[in-house]
């Protein structure tokens, strides 16, 4: 049985710009990130940044009777992030009378006061709940709460996170992310919030998406947000032509969608790793006939990582027709710190996704001469 450690710790971390030292107010520090449309999130040090509440019960997620508050909308991204088989629940709270600025369809701007929560559970026990709170015009506060033994509440985790807090499979334990882990994902994408996007909320759901939860009554989608007047401008096109992966077949659609959600947060054309030339992030603004960035930058491309047992001449990021020579497949299969992808947040291989991506790669027709383009970075 999972035994989550009872942590009553009221530390809130504040991080300065990537790679800089944390700046802390006396007694408490605030882990804040700043972001603007069209630019990746970066962290800022601010003595005036608000501190996240000490307990999850103080954040606004729950009502007075202990149930989820009526203002908090559940949602389920169609391409969820792999989290070692965790059962996850998610909610958003938008301030009354406000709307999300969706004028840039790929980088939504949320009103000040917006909050997101994501709950992680294994074996029927809640282990952690993460919160993202837009506390100011450009300030985002990130907080992780660790559930106590009797499941009555969760306390804010320390800046460094908590190693091996719960057993999630024989010999495998889950660790609570630290400050740097939060920004490693949320600071690498053009949008701070990764799972609440036009593609993720599209009413045109992908039936092959790995680990996707079915839509339940009351869950937020593009249609429901538009009908409630929560999108500004209204963007009727998001309802009449809901975003979807631009693919040649269902397997390709699901594989690229998975890679966009699980890898595109770092590997995109606008974040800190843009210079490596590998872009796996879907762009909803792309025309219906435009190729996905993953097809353009990964298929046939050379990478610095050489698949074991192959030569630099034959190893590719995605080798058409050859999963065994494809770095993406091999690194998805790895849980060695030096080679695994994603590099953090998981200790168990996502077998379903490995099978899906392998099937996609195997079904590609290999070119007559696999010259390949070159991408400098991962995989």
Give every CB contact of residue 98 below 8 A, 6+ residues apart in sequence.
Answer: 111, 113, 114, 230
Same domain, 141 and 282: no
Give domain status of residue 11, yes or no. Answer: no
Same domain (yes/no): 203, 254: no
pLDDT value, residue 6: 36
Split into its structural domains, the chain has a count of 2
| The last residue of a domain, from among 173, 204, 232 | 232
Are both 293 and 211 inside the same structural domain? no
**Per-residue confidence (pLDDT) for residue 365, from 0 to 100:** 86
Q: Is residue 181 a contact partner of residue 161, using CB atoms and an 8 Å limit?
A: yes
How far is residue 285's CA from residue 105's CA, in Å, rounded to a whole number? Answer: 6
Asked if residue 376 belongs to a domain, the reply is no
Predicted pLDDT at 48: 53
At 299 the pLDDT is 97
Surface-to-core class of residue 160, CB atoms within 10 Å of its CB (0-12 exposed, 13-18 middle, 19+ buried): middle
Q: Measuring CA to CA, how many Å separate 108 from each of 62, 103, 232?
A: 26, 7, 10
- Predicted confidence at residue 91, as pLDDT, reads 98
Residue 223: inside a domain: yes
Question: How far, in Å, CA of 170 to CA of 5, rounded?
Answer: 17
Residues 226 and 256 in one domain: no
Helix (H, G, I), strand (E, B) or coil at 316: strand
Say yes or no: 293 and 326 in one domain.
Answer: yes
Same domain, 260 and 315: yes
pTM above 0.75? yes
**Integer Cα distance of 110 and 36 in angstroms:** 10
Asked if residue 16 belongs to a domain, the reply is no
Confirm whether 379 is domain-assigned. Answer: no
pLDDT at 185 (0 to 100):
85
pLDDT for 49 equals 64
Structural domain of 345? 250-362
Q: Which residues, listed in sequence order, are joined to residue 318 by a DSSP beta bridge?
A: 299
> pLDDT value at position 5?
39
**Residues 172 and 43 both lie in one domain:** yes
Cα 324 to Cα 36, 141, 308, 332: the distances in Å are: 40, 42, 9, 12
Residues 163, 283: one domain? no
Q: Is residue 243 part of a domain?
A: no
The verdict on residue 319 lying in a domain is yes
- Beta carbons within 8 Å of 287's beta carbon, 6+ residues apart: none
Dig out the tokens for 29 from the structure: 């520090």
Could you tell me if 293 and 355 lie in one domain? yes
Q: Is the peptide bond before 102 cis (omega within 30 degrees of 0)?
A: no
139 within 8 A of 33, measured Cβ to Cβ: yes
Question: Is 46 in the same domain as 178?
Answer: yes
262 and 144, same structural domain?
Answer: no
In a domain, 282, yes or no: yes
CB distance 210 to 360 below 8 Å: no
Residues 210 and 118 both lie in one domain: yes
10-residue averages of pLDDT along the chain (379 residues) = 37 28 29 40 42 96 96 98 98 98 97 98 98 92 96 95 96 91 84 96 98 96 98 95 97 98 94 93 91 97 95 97 98 95 94 98 76 46
Count of all residues that appear for the chain in the document: 379
CB neighbours of residue 287 within 10 Å: 8
pLDDT of 35 reads 40
């Amino acid at each position: 049985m999972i035994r989550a450690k009872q942590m009553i710790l009221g530390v809130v971390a504040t991080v300065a710009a990537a790679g800089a030292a944390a700046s802390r107010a006396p007694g408490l520090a605030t882990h804040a990130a700043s972001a603007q449309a069209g630019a990746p999130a970066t962290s800022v040090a601010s003595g005036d940044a608000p501190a996240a509440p000490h307990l999850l019960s103080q954040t606004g997620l729950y009502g007075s009777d202990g149930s989820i508050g009526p203002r908090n909308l559940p949602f389920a991204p169609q391409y969820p992030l792999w989290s070692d088989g965790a059962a996850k629940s998610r909610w958003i709270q938008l301030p009354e009378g406000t709307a999300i600025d969706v004028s840039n369809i790929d980088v939504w701007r949320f009103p000040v006061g917006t909050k997101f929560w994501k709950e992680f559970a294994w074996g029927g026990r809640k282990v952690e709940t993460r919160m993202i709170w837009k506390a100011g015009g450009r300030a985002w506060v990130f907080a992780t709460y660790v559930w106590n033994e009797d499941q009555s509440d969760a306390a804010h985790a320390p800046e460094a996170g908590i190693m091996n807090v719960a057993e999630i499979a024989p010999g495998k334990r889950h660790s609570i992310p630290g400050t740097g882990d939060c920004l490693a994902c949320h600071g690498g994408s053009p949008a701070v919030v990764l799972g609440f996007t036009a593609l993720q909320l599209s009413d045109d759901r992908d039936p092959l998406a790995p680990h996707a939860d079915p839509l339940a009554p009351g869950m937020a989608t593009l249609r429901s947000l538009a009908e409630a007047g929560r999108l500004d401008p209204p963007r009727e096109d998001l309802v009449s032509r809901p975003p979807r992966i631009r693919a040649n077949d269902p397997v390709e659609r699901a594989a690229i969608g998975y890679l966009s959600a699980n890898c595109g947060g770092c590997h995109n054309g606008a974040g800190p790793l843009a210079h490596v030339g590998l872009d796996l992030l879907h762009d909803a603004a792309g025309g219906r006939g435009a190729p996905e960035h993953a097809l353009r930058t990964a298929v046939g491309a050379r990478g610095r990582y050489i698949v074991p047992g192959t030569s630099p001449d034959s190893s590719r990021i995605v080798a058409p027709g050859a999963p065994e020579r494809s770095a993406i497949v091999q690194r998805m299969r790895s849980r060695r710190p030096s080679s695994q992808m994603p590099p953090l947040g998981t200790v168990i291989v996502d077998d379903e996704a490995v099978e899906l991506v392998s099937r996609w790669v195997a079904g590609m027709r290999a070119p007559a001469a696999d010259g390949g383009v070159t991408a400098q970075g991962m995989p």
